[in-house]
Every structure is written in structure tokens, then in C-alpha cells.
Structure 1
Amino acid sequence: MLQIVKRSAIFLLIALTAWVVVRAEGGAPQGGGDVPLEQLPYLENLLFQSSRFNRPADMRAVPAEHVIPILETDEPVLENAQFVLYLNPDTVNFKVQDKTTGYVFATAIDEPDAGTFTPLLSSGIGLEYINIRTNYAMRQNVGLIDTEFSVDKTIVENRVELDIYVGGFCTRRVCQQNYEGYLAGEVSLEQMINLGFIEIGIGFALHVTLTESGITAHIPFASIEESFPETIRLASLILFPGMGATHKDDVPGYMVIPDGVGALIRYEDNQGRFLVPFEERFYGGNQGIVSTRMSVTSYPLSMPVFGAVHGVKQHAFLAIIESGDANARLLAYPNGASNTPYNLIFTKFDYKQTYRQSFSSDGTGGAMRIHTSSLDDVTVHYRFLPADAADYVGMARSYQNYLISRGHLTPQTPSEGPIPIHLQVLMADSQSSFIGTRLVPMTSLEALREMVDAFMAAGLTNQTVSLLGWNQGGYSGYLPAPVRFERSIGSSRAFQATIADLQDEGHRVLLVNNYQSATEASRDVSFRNDVAEGVNRFKLTRTCETCVYTDRHLLYPFSSTRLALNHLEDYEALGVEVMFEGIGHRLFSYHDRQTHTRSEALDHYTEIYDAYQGRGHYVSPHAYVYPYITDYFHAPLFNSQLAYFDDLVPFLPIVLSGHIEMYSQFLNFNSLGRVPLLMLIDFGIYPSYILTENRSSLLRGTD
């Protein structure tokens, strides 16, 4: 009932907002009659079938012949009231059988037929390593069964502890052909080395705990050993590559990807349409290290979760990465990708990455080096959902419950007052001129007051007003800014009086600042001490020839923290709140005497989240910020709409519903008509607008 009331109120709010904006512009709504569905042209029909919308669910039952069997090689190792856990020690394949339904999820595939991927998919765990002797080449997707490995098993209460050691590995087919002869003593080790045999010498522990909701996999970082660090280094561990795997369209269902608002990849026979898998790093790319692979998404993976449905309202699992997420990659293989006939979804946890260290100022040439990208334990919870929760909605609710149980989400008491709206007002900006820059005033304090009053008169009395370019010099190039107001807009006393008036009327006032990036015009920022170096020891500077200031720098996380904490008392004295750009949305590795990981960067930013809790707000925050916020600004309405994706689903809004209020991206820039407005109502997201007093054409030459 609460959701229905909320949606109705958002609908009325959007209607009122549209009336105010149209009235302010002196225009009238334009439009024509609705086109009957049967008369929609061919391209419109394709649009409705695209990943911009959600298609009806495939309600077919999972065929009995495609239920994974329990084999003689599968040993029962643990059992509780809900599940039985089996282990095949020859492949480290765990199988989890639901005692109520008999359905089985497995971490590997029994006897797969996947070409070069067959060894990986036959194994419950895989790895990737760096061979220093072969110019730091990385060997990818190595399955345990393709190696000489040993497993020591210990059962402790409800936990199976495996100590795994990976020894020899054949890197070439001729080596594999002679491997049986090597085991029989017919081929010597020296001959095998010449044929491509290599000693990997990597060990690690894998702990699997049986819980009431499924299993938890844990890999302690301290357990990792490298016997030959001069030649072989562990790059990544691949956890449970066969979990939830299906063959082509044999099983109805889909994979869930936390891209943007949410995306599904359906189990269909793709007939070779995809050549490569979907692969993205959680929380976006790492700008601190040069990657050979560019991101293809419009939205980063903002939540460390993924899952799969086998038959809607029948069987499903949700994977939640509790630790190790800052250096994890999500891979989703629609069948046909990499010539595999299977639908796959799993994670790779990166421990080391290669980069080129240049010794010249222009960044050319150099030698290969290794960056230790993670020092974290890996913990992943696999939750097997009951039938009534076996869909993307059930997954979102399960993740929400997990966050609540960890204290990362706090239920909000529904407000009986007016529905909120977010208004961002650009006060001033800076513009390139013939010599240097000049200020471009965009909104006076009097006009700001008039805007708020106009929305108030239309019944929009619950406003969050964020001020952009309030600082000396305006917005472009002058952040991070100390708490000093732009004098051409108004004196400090006038700003304070306006803010106090708005707050007295019940509105929130936020000052927008950016403590993560800077330019040469930024105050209190030292290029030498505050601008971060990447792991290759080059400054993290991006050049933009059309920007007001051509060089934009990323700051060290500890410098961002120092600046933000230094300004906290000034914000408190004003009684205002702060909207942070960048922080909460970007993590990167960096070099400061030694290389540091993204997790170490997050530790610094967490000092800001803690200090500003109740006062700090963030643009498109990732899941690690949820414990510190009550609202989410610039919430996505779409996913990246890649060819992989079949459906758009409100996964993110369902997770945050009732706990964190969400505000849309600016509706001024909506070019899709009424559809996004209807999505706001459907998803329970409040509208946002960016406003100025003066015409936007004056912003030519600004950022």
C-alpha cells in the first residue's frame, strides 16, 4: 500500500513540476495523439524488445532431464535442515542439493564439452598466473584438473577446509599428449619442460561453509603461497566457474547483472552471436593502472552481487561478495562466447596485475612490472533462494536483507509530508577567455529565492536544493573549494541569510564540492604533494583541450581526506550539508613511496564517510557508501543497453526501497519523452532538475 501511495505522489509531483517548468518558460506542452500499439512501426517494436524494457517472464518449468545428478564420485560432506553439500575431490566440484526440491547447483560442470574451456569448467576453482620468464605473459583460465594438484581436506563443524597446491602444468598440447608417459616414467622431467611443462607452485586455502541459506566460500589472503616467485606469480583466482551454468536454452531463466538500474541476460540459443563474454570490474575501472582492456559499459557495477535463475519462481541463487570486491571482475558468458555452448556467470579475484614502467618522461618504452592489486581475503555468500523468491525481485530482496543484517541499510520511517524533489542550481561558472578565464554569473541569490518560491507555490514544498558553483571562481576548475562564496553572486552574509531562510522553510541546502579531482586553479592543492601518481609513478592527469583548464588531476586519497576534514567545521558553522562529486563513485590504485591498492584508497575515503555521516551526500554512490547515506543522487533509470542484455529491471531501486531515497538524473536532459517519467513512478525515484536564471547559451566555453 505504501508503494502505491508513493508512486501516486511521485506522479502528481512530476505533473506539478512539469507545469512549473513550462510556465516559467512561457510555453505549453506539445504532443499529439497516442499511436495504437498495432500501428507501431517495425523499429518501435524492436525498441520494446530491446534491453530498454522488460519482457514477460518465461514461466516454463526446468526439464527434469537437465537437473544436475549426484554421481558416485560426489561425496556427502555436510548437511543441515535445508541442504546437503557434496564434494568431488578429484575436481574440487561442490554440489548443493536442496532437500525440499531435490534441485542441485554445482560449482563445476560434469564432463563439459567446451573446447579450451573444458578444463576450467570441469574444475570448481581455477587460476591465472604471470610467467616472468616469458616477458610477464599471463596464462588465463587454468582449471585445476589441467594441472598436477593436491588437496588436503578437513571438516570443522559446518565447514569444509581445503588446502590446495597447484604443481605442474602443461602449457602446450604436445606436453599434454606426453603427460601420461611422464607419469609412467617414460618421459623425463627435462623432456617435459622442453615440451612446455612448467612448475606453477601456487597454494591457497578454500573454506566452504554450509549455512541456512546456502554456502559461503572464503579464501584467506594469508593462505596464498608462491613457491617460485622469481618466475611464477599468482594473478587471479577464479571462484566456482560452473555455478549456475546451463547449456544454450535447455533451461529457462536468466543471469542478473548489477549494471546501472539492473540488467538480465536470458538463456537463449544465441547461435554464435557473441564472440567474447561480458567482463567488467566491480565499482568501475582502476584509473591508477593502465589496462589493456577498456570498459564498454555506461554504468559501473555498483553492487558486488550477481545471480542466476533456473526457471522463474523455481530455482535461483544470489552471490554476494562480502570481501575482495574492490579487486573483483564479473564475467558473464552468454552461450557462444569464446566458443562455449554454456551460459556462465562467475568472478575472478585479481591479486596481481602487470603494467609497463617507463623510464622516460614521455611514458614510452620501459620494462614490465607487477602491481600487487589486492591484499584482501575473499568471501562470497551463495544464497539459494526458495521458489517464491526465485526471480530478480527475490534476489534484490535477499541482498536488501543481507545489507540490513550487516547494519548497512537502515529502514526509514515513511514521511507523511510532501514528496521530495531535488533542484540543483548553477550559481556561477568560469569560462575560457582570450587571456585566462572570466566568471560567468548564472543565478543570483534573488533568482534562487524566486525559483524555490515558484515551486513552493505549485505545492512542491519539500525541496532539496544543491548549489553548484557557489564557491569563489565558480564551478569549472575551482574545486575542491574552501567554504568561501563567490562575491559577484552575493556576500557571505547574503549567502548565509538565503541558506538560513530556505532551511527555516524546511528545505535542505547542499553545497556541491569535489575533493577527488583538481586543476591548477584549485586552492590549497599542491601538484607535487597532492596530485596522485599511478602505480607507474606518473601523475594521474587527464588532458582536455576544450576545458577551461586543460589538465585535470586525481588527488591522493589521503589528500582528499585532509582537505575534506579541514573544511568540515566550516560546513558545520554554516549548518549546510555537502554533496560530494567523485568520492563514493571512484576507486583507484596509486603510488606513494610504494604502490597501494583500491582497498587502501577506500580506507582513506571511509574517514570522510564517517566524519560527514548525516551531512554528506554522494553522486551515484557504490554499495560501500550505503552505511553512511540516507539518499542517492543521480540514480540511473537505465542499464548500459549492451547487446548482451535482454531486459531492464529495477534491481537497484528494489534493494534500496524503504531505506535510501533515490533522486533521478536531471530530467532537463530527458530526450525520451514520457517513458522516463513513467519509469520514475514505477521505480519509486524522485525527480531532479538543474536550473539557472540566465540562458544556458552563456555557458559556452565552460566545462
Structure 2
Amino acid sequence: MKRISVPKRWLALAAVCAATLAALAVFAALAANRQPPAAPQPAAQTAAQPAVRQEAAGSGVPAAPVPDKGEFVPVAESRYLTLKANPATGHFIVTDKRSGDVWKSYPEEAGSRDGQNQGKWLSNLESPVMISYVEFNVRRDLAKESNLKEGKGLVTGFAATGQGFQVRYEFPELGFVIPVEVRLGEDYVETKILKDGLKDARIFTEEERKTKKDNEARLVSVRLYPFLGAHTSEQTDGYLLLPDGPGAIVDFKRDRAGTNHYYNERVYGADWAYSANAKFSIRRSVRAPVFGIKAGEKSLLAVIHEGAEYANVVAAPSGTFSPYNWATAEQQYRFMDYQYTNTKKTEGYVTFTKELTATDRSVRYYLIAGGDDGYVRMAARFRQYLIDEVGMKRLPAGDDKLALQLHVLGADAERGFLWDSYLPLTTTAQAQEIVQELNAVGVERMSVTYLGWQRKGYSSYGGSFPLPGKLGGNEGMRQFADFVHAKGYRLYLDGSNYAFNNTGGDGFRRNRDGLRDNGASVISYRRRGTDKTLVSPRFASKVIEKDLDKMRALHVDGLVFGQGIGSLLNTDYNDKYAATREEAVQIQQRMFGMTKDALGHVQVEDGNIYTWKYVDHIHGLPVDGSGDLFVDRQVPFLQIALHGLVTYSSEYGNDSDDYETAFLKGIEYGAVPSFVVTYAKSQQLLETRSLGQFFSTYYKDWLQEMAAQYQRYDEALGDVQQQWITGHRALADGVFETAYGNGKRIVVNYNERPYAGDGWTVQPRDFVVVK
């Protein structure tokens, strides 16, 4: 399945332009896209906890600046951690009993010189809560920023709970109440904005209405304890870990050039329901809601545990707003939207959604002691999170052979002067011939995915059955599946086509069954010569359920979802199929679950974390980031976390800008090889509606190379597919080592000169296996 992507060089150029523009409007950008939180009620204080003062609602004390150590009292203890809290502010300190490491909910004081923190950012740094809000009766298109100190906020409730504490923050002038709960787990501290008790509207008395104007202030977003773990570059060495691509490292630097770069990305990507007149980010989508901070020898892994679908990850290096390096989760409760004011949709205005999206929002901060391999330890802890909380399982023990990911392009529409015609590129009989020839040249294992199998070809969506006779028909696919099974392989069909419709097949009616945005417009777009309409997820789910019996009759082993299912997440304002973003997650999971139940297997392309527990393989797992100027290097954080739980591949080996580097990156990152091929010669793809993006697919041109690459991958990685990645480091500039649980090490050399190790040498642009 082809990932919709932009050439890397274009991404890098776009990132440079975006960074320049960001410098002109950085504060406005931070203010935009914010959403509101939830409010906690004071819990009953347990007898085992020390007595603390609890103010009555409405008589709170002004939030203090960064508290002194003497103001903290013990409130909870777990197996590995202790928690102290300050009742006057709600700030806290967590200590790791195993290592003695201390993490604070506010910035480390050391390393911050007088005069560095000024104005609004001084009060930001001192506040346990930052908010943004919109005043609908003043500027409905502008989100304002504030914090507990600047907004004259109060702590109006505090109580120990046994596992931690609850605290209530109030903004009397705005009418906001934000209830918060902090609790200890075995090796983490969880901060939560509670849905119950959240208020975001001021209630005016009759007397107040006579003298005061109601600006109709409403919450847009909340950052809770935004500077938890923040450190200056002067204080310590370390870095920020961001969820960009496989994982991005931003080093703590004392003299970082450029001070206007920051990271602010929506988890699971943009919501197309609010896409009117909007500009989408050019960065890679956040597939896993994680970020991290390494400071000296200690590390902190943050996982957005509840409400990730409504969260942003925000981070900035030192020198961008303050002397601190920091990263946080921003919880969104309202969303910027464009409302049209005429039926032609040529005029309108920017505003924020009226409804409050109220759900519990929590972030778990895992305390990790260790050495220099901070991101490796973070990834190992995230792997355990995937097992314990997401439901993933370790790969079963098997033989020591990789399965080449072979994708076959079936057919597409051929462009004509008056109308299009059907152009077969690989029939089912020809696909069988390709598999046989690959066997003959040494490819012992394969997993085959058939693209463009649907009735009208790759660029046609909807009404997939029956399969076209020119491709082999239903019987041809069934025979191909039986042939593949006789070899011991699996056959998958591309399921990404179910996310769209442009044929009216399956009873689809655009105005009835299409995904609608907040302005009730059906969402369609044109890409690579093809118009397509996004299908309401509930409608897509019904169609898939209906088609599963037909697929079972073809003897195929599963579907490969991608693009709109598993990698896009949208709110649906279609009254017939309405779904929140949270409900859309559940609908997509249902599609994955019922496909696995019916056919036995399911895969995903570049999918979000909520799909991972269902899949046998992840296609298109990124090995490169977005090309941001302030990112210092990419690391295989996701690959380290996933290896041993699920197999994965990156881009097609024959569809890469730099084939040799892509091969070496796959070896370094523990991937499996992947190719997309046709029986027809590559130039025929230029005649199709949408396959011109694949520039070299003729299988005979790649037959020997596929076999050679497969054998080299198998030599390096065949016996470690079930193993954890236990280490990853740079041995020198351009030389990287990956270590596995069975003691195997693989060293990759990207340089043009050899690199000598202890008893071994890796040649230029090559790798060596060290056992």
C-alpha cells in the first residue's frame, strides 16, 4: 500500500519556511489551537495523611510563586516513589527511592540567572496551570493566554487521598474551575484534569449585570504542570525527546542559534472536521502520545494516558521563551473553526467551537534512572506500557526467517480523452509468477499484499466486488490465495480504499454518507488526479462488515488498513453517523477487531497507537523526521519500543529517494524489507490516474536486488525478530550500533570510509554483525 507522502527535500524546505514564519507570530501560534480542562472536587482527607489546610471555595489564597522546600508535606508513597505536595499551590516533588532522583512539578531553580525570566513568562514558570481562553463577545477568533498567577487564580481546595492529592484551581474573574488529581503508581506519577467539577463560565448576579460586561469567556486549553522536569542548559546536560518520526532529540544547548523554534503538534494529526480555511502542519503526524526529558543521568517518559485524541504535545528548547528546556501536554477542549456566512462558502469568519469537549485528561510521568542511553530506557518503559496498558503481546517464538513484504499493484484507471478505461498491471496469475520467481532466486518467506484489487482499480473507491475478470476475477484471487498458502505465506488485500468513495458503490450517497465538517460540508479532496470523498466512519464500518464474508470466500488472510482508517482521526458532524473524535477511535478499533476475527489477521500502514494491538505488521513506520531546524538528531525510539512486539517496515525499497541509505537505515532500525512491484513495465504506470507516484515497479528490474536485500536483511535480523532491542548508540559520527536481547550487535556505517572496532571492521556504506 502506498503511503501518501511528500519528498523529503520538499519537507525540509517547507520546514525552513515554516520556522521563519513562526518567528513572526510565535505567541499567536501558541495561543491558537488550545482547548479546556476539567475540575476536581476536594477528596476526603485520610487519617494516615498529615493534616493540611483546606480553604473553602471562594476564600482561596493567591497562588504562591515557586515554593520553598519547607512548604511541602508528604502525601503518598508507592513501591518506588514518594510524593510531597504544597497545599498552597498544588505543586509537588517526586523522589525515586531506587536512585534518589528528584523531579519537581515546577522548573529547577538552579541554572536560572536573575533577569532571564521576565514578564509573562516569569509568571508562566511559577504557575502550576497555564490556560488559553476565548472571549466570544470580544474576539471570538482569538485565544488569549494566561496562568494561575497572572489570572489571579486561587487554590480553593486541597486534600490528600492516600495515593496522592486533589487540588482545585479557580479563576474567579473568568469563572473557571479546574479540578486536578495527582496520584502515584508504582514507578510513575499521574496528573489528571477531572471532568467532574470542571467549569468554564462565570455566572453573573443580577447586580453584576448592571455594572459589568459579560465577555462570555470560555476555556480553550489547559497545560497542567507545564514545566514538570524543566531544566536549563546551564544546569545540566540532557535533551528533549519529541514524537516526531521515529523519535526526535533536541539537545540542551547553552548557545543555541535561533530562539523562535518550538514544537506544537496534535496527537494523531489534524481533525479534518475543522479544516475549512485551515493550514495543516507539514510535520509528521504524532502516532504515539509520548515525549520525554533527559537531565543528567535521569530520564522522564511522559505518556498521555487519557484524552490523547484531544491533546497536543508542546515543547521548546532553552532560549525560545525562557532559559528552560521543557515539554508538556496541552489538553484541548475547544477547537478553532471557520464558519461560512453565505451558501456559496466564499465568506466567513474564524471562531472557536461553542461546545466544551469534557473528558478526563491524564498524563503519566514514568521516572527512569540510568545512564547515557536515556531514550533507550524510555523506549523500554514505553514497551512495557504497550504490553500492560495497550494490550500488545510479545511475538511468539518461531524460526529464524524474515518475511519479505511484497506489495503487488493490480490495476488502475487509464486516462482517456473522453473517458477512462481499465488498465490491468498485474493479474492474479502474473502475481503467482512473480512469487515463484522470487522463490527461485532465494526469497524463502513472503507476506503478499494486493493493491488495486477492487473492481475499478486502485484510484476507484467503493463497490469493490466482484473482482474484475481482467484481473482474474474472484476465482483467480482465490487460486492465488491457495497458491500463497501452499507456500506457507499469507495474502492480504489493501483495505485503505474503504475510507473513501468516488464511485457511488456500496450504496454510497455523498450528501447522505460522507464525512461532514463542523459547517456541515461534506469533506472531499483531489489528490494525484483523483477526486475522493471521505466516508463517515460508521458507514465504512458497515460496508467492511458486509464485505468480510466475500473476502473470506476469496481465502485471503486479512486486510491492510491505512490512510483514512487507522492513520486519520476526524470528528464527524454528519447527523446520520455523528461521532466525536473519541468515538472515531472506537469505530476504527471495531473495524480492526472484526477484520481480525473474520479473516484471522490485519495490518496497518503508519497507524496510530490505538491500532497496534490488533496488527501483525506495521507498514511505513517512519525512519526520518520532519526536518525541523532545531531538532538535533533522529533516534529509533518507536522501533526500540515495538521490536519484539510486532514486525515493521519503512518505505518501499524501490521507491526511496536514497535507496542505499534506506537499506542501511532498515538494518539499523530492525525493520524487514518491503517492495512494491508490477508485472507490467514501469512506464505503463504513467498512463494511470494515480500510480505515477511509483517510479520503478517492474519486478524483473528488481528481482535480483530484492533477493539480495532479503538475504542480507535475513542474515542480520532473521534470528532477532522476537528479541527486544536493548541498546542503541553512536560509536562515531555516522556509525551506529544496535544491540539485541540475545547478545547480537549490528553496526552500520553510513560513511565513505571503513570503521574499525574491537576485532571487527565495517566497510563504507555497509554493516557488520557482531556476535
Q: TM-score range by the shorter chain?
A: 0.7 to 0.9
Which residue matches 1:571? 551
Which residue matches 1:235? 220
Of the three residues 438, 443, 447, the one matched with 1:460 is 443
8 Å CA contact 2:90–2:158 kept in 1: the answer is: no
Unaligned runs of 5+ in 2: 1-15, 17-65, 204-213, 691-771
1:581 aligns with 2:562: yes
Which residue matches 1:509? 491
Rate the CA distance shift 1:222–1:292 in 2: closer, same or farther, 3 A: farther
Structure 2 length normalisation: TM-score? 0.74
Between 552-561 and 482-491, the greater mean CA deviation after superposition:
482-491
Which residue matches 2:241? 256
1:535 is displaced (CA, Å) by: 1.0
Unaligned runs of 5+ in 1: 1-49, 51-67, 168-198
Distance 2:329 2:220 in 1: 13
* Secondary structure at the counterpart of residue 272 of structure 2: coil
Distance 2:196 2:414 in 1: 53
8 Å CA contact 1:353–1:373 kept in 2: the answer is: no
8 Å CA contact 2:179–2:197 kept in 1: the answer is: yes
1:97 is displaced (CA, Å) by: 2.4
Rate the CA distance shift 1:373–1:563 in 2: closer, same or farther, 3 A: farther
* Secondary structure at the counterpart of residue 529 of structure 1: helix
1:118 aligns with 2:122: yes
Q: Residue by residue, what CA displacement relative to the aligned partner does 1:459-495 show, whole Å, maximum 9, x if unpaired?
A: 212111111111211111x223433212112232222
1:431 is displaced (CA, Å) by: 2.5
Of the three residues 349, 367, 383, the one matched with 1:400 is 383
1:212 is displaced (CA, Å) by: 2.1
Distance 2:308 2:336 in 1: 19
Which residue matches 1:214? 188
Of the three residues 302, 315, 320, the one matched with 2:298 is 315
8 Å CA contact 1:115–1:340 kept in 2: the answer is: no
Which residue matches 2:324? 342
| Letter aligned with residue 570 of structure 2 | F
How many residues are paired up? 599
Which residue matches 1:482? 464
Which residue matches 1:439? 422
Runs of 4+ in 1 over 6 A off after TM superposition: none
8 Å CA contact 1:373–1:596 kept in 2: the answer is: no
* Secondary structure at the counterpart of residue 462 of structure 2: coil
Distance 2:463 2:545 in 1: 13
8 Å CA contact 2:475–2:554 kept in 1: the answer is: no
Which residue matches 2:231? 246
| Structure with more contact order per residue of length (Cα contacts < 8 Å, sep ≥ 6) | 1
Distance 1:322 1:207 in 2: 14
Distance 1:448 1:455 in 2: 11
Which residue matches 2:608? 622
Rate the CA distance shift 1:165–1:319 in 2: closer, same or farther, 3 A: same
Distance 1:263 1:654 in 2: 13
* Secondary structure at the counterpart of residue 133 of structure 1: coil
1:395 is displaced (CA, Å) by: 0.5
* Secondary structure at the counterpart of residue 609 of structure 1: helix
* Secondary structure at the counterpart of residue 379 of structure 1: strand
Of the three residues 375, 378, 381, the one matched with 2:361 is 378
Which residue matches 2:643? 657
Which residue matches 1:43? none
8 Å CA contact 1:150–1:166 kept in 2: the answer is: no
1:697 aligns with 2:683: yes
* Secondary structure at the counterpart of residue 433 of structure 1: coil
* Secondary structure at the counterpart of residue 76 of structure 1: strand
Which residue matches 1:175? none
Of the three residues 363, 377, 393, the one matched with 2:345 is 363
Which residue matches 1:678? 664
Rate the CA distance shift 1:203–1:499 in 2: closer, same or farther, 3 A: same
Distance 2:146 2:429 in 1: 66
Rate the CA distance shift 1:581–1:110 in 2: closer, same or farther, 3 A: closer
Which residue matches 1:92? 90
8 Å CA contact 1:372–1:597 kept in 2: the answer is: no
Q: Percent identity?
A: 23
Distance 2:595 2:357 in 1: 27
1:567 is displaced (CA, Å) by: 0.8
| Letter aligned with residue 466 of structure 2 | R
1:446 is displaced (CA, Å) by: 3.1
1:299 is displaced (CA, Å) by: 2.1
1:335 is displaced (CA, Å) by: 1.6
Rate the CA distance shift 1:141–1:246 in 2: closer, same or farther, 3 A: farther
Rate the CA distance shift 1:148–1:291 in 2: closer, same or farther, 3 A: farther
Distance 1:226 1:123 in 2: 19
1:136 aligns with 2:116: no
Considering only aligned residues, what root-mean-square deviation do their CA atoms show, in Å? 2.4
| Letter aligned with residue 699 of structure 1 | L
Distance 1:69 1:130 in 2: 30
Rate the CA distance shift 1:69–1:392 in 2: closer, same or farther, 3 A: farther
1:369 is displaced (CA, Å) by: 5.1
Distance 2:671 2:485 in 1: 23
Of the three residues 392, 409, 425, the one matched with 1:426 is 409
* Secondary structure at the counterpart of residue 380 of structure 2: helix
Which residue matches 2:168? 163
Q: Residue by residue, what CA displacement relative to the aligned partner does 1:305-324 show, whole Å, maximum 9, x if unpaired?
A: 1111012xx11111111111
| Letter aligned with residue 97 of structure 1 | T
Which residue matches 2:736? none
1:330 is displaced (CA, Å) by: 0.5
* Secondary structure at the counterpart of residue 406 of structure 1: helix
Which residue matches 1:303? 288
1:378 is displaced (CA, Å) by: 0.8
8 Å CA contact 1:321–1:380 kept in 2: the answer is: yes
| Letter aligned with residue 293 of structure 2 | A
Distance 2:82 2:357 in 1: 33
* Secondary structure at the counterpart of residue 515 of structure 1: helix
Structure 1 length normalisation: TM-score? 0.81
Distance 2:67 2:294 in 1: 18
Rate the CA distance shift 1:118–1:271 in 2: closer, same or farther, 3 A: same
* Secondary structure at the counterpart of residue 398 of structure 1: helix
8 Å CA contact 1:373–1:589 kept in 2: the answer is: no
Distance 2:525 2:613 in 1: 31
Rate the CA distance shift 1:269–1:536 in 2: closer, same or farther, 3 A: farther
1:552 aligns with 2:537: no
8 Å CA contact 2:462–2:503 kept in 1: the answer is: no
* Secondary structure at the counterpart of residue 120 of structure 2: helix
1:637 aligns with 2:623: yes
Rate the CA distance shift 1:524–1:329 in 2: closer, same or farther, 3 A: same
* Secondary structure at the counterpart of residue 205 of structure 1: strand
* Secondary structure at the counterpart of residue 436 of structure 2: helix
1:655 is displaced (CA, Å) by: 0.9
| Letter aligned with residue 133 of structure 1 | N
Distance 1:520 1:369 in 2: 35
1:108 is displaced (CA, Å) by: 1.8
8 Å CA contact 2:414–2:421 kept in 1: the answer is: yes
8 Å CA contact 1:261–1:638 kept in 2: the answer is: yes
